[in-house]
Amino acid sequence: MSTPEITGFQITGPQITGKVVITASDGRLDAPVDARFGRAPWLLLVDLESGLLQQAVDTRDQATAPQGAGIRAAETVARLGATALVTGHCGPKAFRALEAARIAVITGATGTVAETVAAVRDGRLRPADQADVPGHWT
């Protein structure tokens, strides 16, 4: 069976490679993952191969918007050049925006950002086929 390749990210056996954005409660690798994609106060760009933090983006201003926070966060993920988003949960509008940008969405992340990097590397967290929460979920 051949390994599927998709532009923007590559699945190699149980792993995704490249740089991923992980939602976080703070701008550090030891910060807890924030479960809410559009409302996460920080988006961390992490290189999966090295495990190093490439960039920490403070999104507290956009996270408090009355609506459209998920779409704005998806635009930020795309601007960062991430191959995948890793978060606790992702709603339908943000999921579609990320999918249109050919960015994999991985939900179900818990623990710290560093623990989440290990879970993605090990294949314990895999891309989702659809949003896992309804719109405007909090």
Nearest alpha-carbon partner for 12 in 92, 123, 129: 123
Domain ranges of the chain: 10-121
pLDDT at 17: 83
pLDDT digits 0-9 by tens, 3-45: 333 334 443 444 688 999 999 999 999 999 999 999 999 999 9
**Do 123 and 13 contact (CB within 8 A), yes or no?**
yes
**Do 26 and 45 contact (CB within 8 A), yes or no?**
no
At residue 86 the predicted structure's pLDDT band, cuts being 50, 70 and 90, is: very high
* Domain 10-121: homologous superfamily in CATH: Dinitrogenase iron-molybdenum cofactor biosynthesis domain (3.30.420.130)
